[in-house]
Structure 1
Amino acid sequence: MKAKKLIWQLYPSYLLVIFIALILLVIYSSSAFKTFYLAQTSNDLRARTLLMETQVTPYFKSREFLKLRALISEQGQKTSTRFTMVDLKGEVLVDSDERPEKMDNHAQRPEIVQALSGNWGMATRYSRTLRTRMLYVAKAIQLDNQIVGVMRSSIPINDLDETLNGLMKKTILWGVLISIFSAMVGFFVSRKISQPIQEFAMGADEISTGNFEFQLPVPNTQEFKQLADAFNNMSFQIKDRIQTVLDHVSEKETILSTMIEGVITVDVDGAITTMNQSAKTYFCIESDDVKGRSVGEVVRNTAIQTMIHQALASNELVQEDIALLHPQKLILHGHGMALKNAKQECVGALIVLHDITRIKRLEKMRQNFVANVSHELKTPITLIKGFLETLFRSDFEDKNETEEFLTIIQDHTIRLESIIDDLLSLSKIEQEQENKWIETERDCMNEVIERAIVLCQKKAHQKALNIKFESESGKKVMAKMNVSLMEQAVINLLDNAIKYSSDNAQIDVLLAQSSGENIVSVRDQGCGISQEHIPHLFERFYRVDAARSRELGGTGLGLAIVKHIAESHSGRVSVTSEENKGSQFSIYIPMTHHKEEKNV
Structure 2
Amino acid sequence: MTKFRLKLTALFMLLIGLSVLAAGLFTGQYYKKNHQDALREHMIRETQVLNAMAPWPETTEVEGQVAFLQQQAQRFKDIAGMRVTYIRPDGVVVGDSDHDPVTMENHKNREEIREALESGEGSSIRRSETLRQNMLYVAQSFKSGDRVVGVIRLSMSLSDVERSLNNMWLALVFGLALLFALAAIVSYRVALGVTRPLEKMTAAAKRMANMDYAIRIPEGGRDELGELARTLNAMGANLQEQLDQIGRNGSRLQSVLDNMTSGVVMIAHDGRITLYNREAEQLLGNTGKERVGRSFTEFKQHYELVQLIRTGLEHGDKLYDELTVYYPEERMLQISLVPMTMSDDEEPGLLLVMQDVTAIRRLENMRSEFVANVSHELKTPVAAVKGFAETLLAGAMNDGETARSFLTIIQDESDRLNRLIGDILELSKIESRRSPLQFSPIDMDSFLERMKELLAAEAAKKNISLDISSEAGLFIEADEDRLGQMLMNLIQNGINYTTDGGKVKVIAEAFTTDEGDDEPMDWVRITVSDTGIGIPKKDMPRIFERFYRVDKARSRSSGGTGLGLSIVKHLVELHRGSIRVESTVGVGSQFILELPMLQP
Q: State the shift of 1:566 in Å.
A: 1.9
- Between 1:333-342 and 1:12-21, the stretch displaced more is 333-342
- Separation in 2 of the partners of 1:306 and 1:108? 115
Match of 1:530 in 2: 536
Equivalent AA in structure 2 for residue 568 of structure 1: L
Q: Is the 8 Å Cα contact of residues 301 and 326 (structure 2) preserved in structure 1?
A: no
Find the counterpart in structure 1 of residue 492 from structure 2.
495
Per the alignment, residue 505 of structure 1 pairs with 502
1:579 aligned to 2:585?
Answer: yes
Bigger mean CA deviation after superposition, 249-258 or 549-558: 249-258
The answer to whether the 8 A contact 1:265-1:273 is kept is yes
Give the letter for the 1:575 counterpart: V
Q: Secondary structure at the match of 2:106?
A: coil
Select between 103-112 and 348-357 the one with higher mean Cα deviation. 348-357
Q: Give 2:502's aligned amino acid.
A: A
Gaps of 5+ in 2: 513-521
Q: Deviations over 1:22-68 (max 9, x none)?
A: 33233222222222222222222222233345566541664523212
2-structure distance, mates of 1:261, 1:450: 52
Q: For the Cα contact (< 8 Å) 2:273–2:296, is it kept in 1?
A: no
Correspondences of 1:56-67 after superposition (within 5 Å): 58-59=56-57, 62-63=60-61, 64-67=65-68
Report the residue type matching 1:17 in the other structure.
Answer: L
The corresponding residue for 1:519 is 525
1:169 CA drift (Å) = 1.1
CA displacement at 1:575 relative to structure 2: 0.7
1:189-215 CA deviation, whole Å, 9 max, x = no partner? 323333344455566678889998876
CA contact (8 A) 1:290 1:298 kept: no
> CA offset at residue 104 of structure 1?
3.3
Summarize the alignment of residues 428-439 of structure 1 with structure 2, pairs less than 5 Å apart.
428-432=429-433, 437-439=436-438
- Contact kept, 8 Å, 1:525 with 1:582, in 2: the verdict is yes
Partner of 1:470: 468
Aligned match of 1:598:
none
The 1-side partners of 2:464 and 2:32 are apart by 148
**Contact 1:103–1:129 (Cα < 8 Å) also in 2:** no
Output the amino acid matched with 2:134. Answer: R
Cα 1:26–1:519 change in 2 (3 A) is: same
8 Å Cα contact 1:115-1:121 kept in structure 2: yes
Residues 181 and 45 (structure 1 numbering): CA distance in 2 closer, same or farther, change over 3 Å? same
Q: Which sits farther off after the overlay, 22-31 or 230-239?
A: 230-239
CA, structure 1 residues 352+162, in 2 after alignment: closer, same or farther (shift >3 Å)?
A: same
Displacement of 1:557 in angstroms is: 0.8
Aligned CA RMSD, in angstroms, stands at: 4.1
- The residue correspondences of 1:300-379 to structure 2 (distance < 5 A) are 302=302, 319-321=320-322, 323-335=324-336, 352-379=353-380
- Is residue 33 of structure 1 aligned with residue 39 of structure 2? no
Residue type matched to 1:541 in 2? F
User: 1:361 aligns to what SS in structure 2?
Assistant: helix
Between the aligned partners of 1:27 and 1:578, the Cα distance in structure 2 is 126
Q: Are 2:580 and 2:592, in contact at CA under 8 Å, matched by a contact in 1?
A: yes
Q: What letter corresponds to residue 493 of structure 1 in structure 2?
A: L
Residues 453 and 494 of structure 1 are in contact (CA less than 8 Å); yes or no, is this contact kept in structure 2? no
Does 1:13 find its partner at 2:11? yes
CA deviations over 1:412-458 (Å, ceiling 9, x no partner)? 333322221110111222233x67x2134444444544444455455
SS at match of 2:535: coil
Shift of 1:370: 1.7
Residues 413/24 of structure 1: CA separation in 2 closer, same or farther (3 Å cut):
same
The one-letter amino acid of 2:123's match is: M
Q: CA deviation at 1:588?
A: 2.4
Selected match of 1:568 from 566, 574, 581: 574
> Helix, strand or coil for the counterpart of 1:27?
helix
> Counterpart of 1:554 in 2: which secondary structure?
coil
Structure 1 stretch displaced more, 264-273 or 121-130: 264-273
Could you list the per-position Cα deviations for residues 222-273 of structure 1 after superposition, in whole angstroms to 9, with x for gaps in the alignment? 4555555556666666665555555555555555555444455677777666
Identify if the C-alpha distance between structure 1 residues 157 and 443 changes in structure 2 by more than 3 Å, giving closer, same or farther. closer
> Kindly tell me: are residues 347 and 53 of structure 1, through their superposed partners in 2, closer, same or farther at Cα, counting changes over 3 Å?
farther
SS in 2 for 1:592: coil
Distance 2:291 2:580 in 1: 44
- The separation in 2 between residues aligned to 1:310 and 1:72, in whole angstroms, is 126
Deviation digits for residues 494-532 of structure 1 (CA, Å, limit 9, x no counterpart):
332333333332222333333333333322223322222
The reply to whether residue 481 of structure 1 matches residue 478 of structure 2 is yes
Change (3 A) 1:487 1:395: closer
What secondary structure does 2:328 align onto? coil
Q: Secondary structure at the match of 2:576?
A: coil
Distance of aligned partners of 1:41 and 1:319 in 2 relative to their CA distance in 1, 3 Å threshold = farther
Q: Which moved more, 1:67-76 or 1:235-244?
A: 235-244
Give the whole-Å Cα distance in 2 for the aligned partners of 1:14 and 1:51.
55
- The answer to whether the Cα contact below 8 Å between 2:448 and 2:468 also exists between their aligned partners in 1 is no
Q: TM-score, structure 1 length as denominator?
A: 0.82
Q: Secondary structure at the match of 1:104?
A: coil
What CA distance in whole angstroms lies between the structure 2 residues aligned with 1:557 and 1:209? 69
Cα distance in 1 between the residues matched to 2:585 and 2:305? 46
Does 200-209 or 580-589 show the bigger shift?
A: 200-209
Contact conserved, 2:69 with 2:86, CA < 8 A, in 1?
A: no
Structure 2 SS opposite 1:59? coil
1:50 equivalent to 2:56? Answer no
| Equivalent position amino acid for 1:169 in 2 | L
Quick check: 1:511–1:519 contact (8 Å CA) kept in 2?
Answer: yes
Distance 1:276 1:593, change over 3 A: closer
Secondary structure of 1:538's match?
A: coil
Q: Does 1:111 align with 2:112?
A: yes
Q: 1:61 to 1:304 in 2, by over 3 A?
A: farther
Structure 1 residues 119 and 554, CA gap change in structure 2 (3 angstroms): farther
How much does 1:466 deviate? 0.9
Unaligned runs of 5+ in 1: 595-600
Structure 1 window deviating more from structure 2 (478-487 vs 7-16): it is 478-487
Contact 2:43–2:138, Cα closer than 8 Å, also in 1: yes
**Residue aligned with 1:117, SS:** helix
Contact 2:297 2:306 survives alignment (8 Å): no
On the 8 A contact 2:431/2:570 being kept in 1, the answer is yes
Q: What TM-score results when the alignment is normalised by the length of structure 2?
A: 0.82
Q: Which moved more, 1:91-100 or 1:161-170?
A: 91-100
In structure 2, C-alpha distance between the alignment counterparts of 1:199 and 1:375, rounded to whole Å: 88
**How much does 1:6 deviate?**
3.8
Matched, 1:127 2:128: yes
In structure 2, do the counterparts of structure 1 residues 545 and 178 end up closer, same or farther at CA, with 3 Å as the change threshold?
same
Question: Percent identity among equivalent residues?
Answer: 29
Contact 2:575–2:599 at 8 Å: present in 1 too? no
Change (3 A) 1:89 1:412: farther
Q: How many residues align?
A: 587
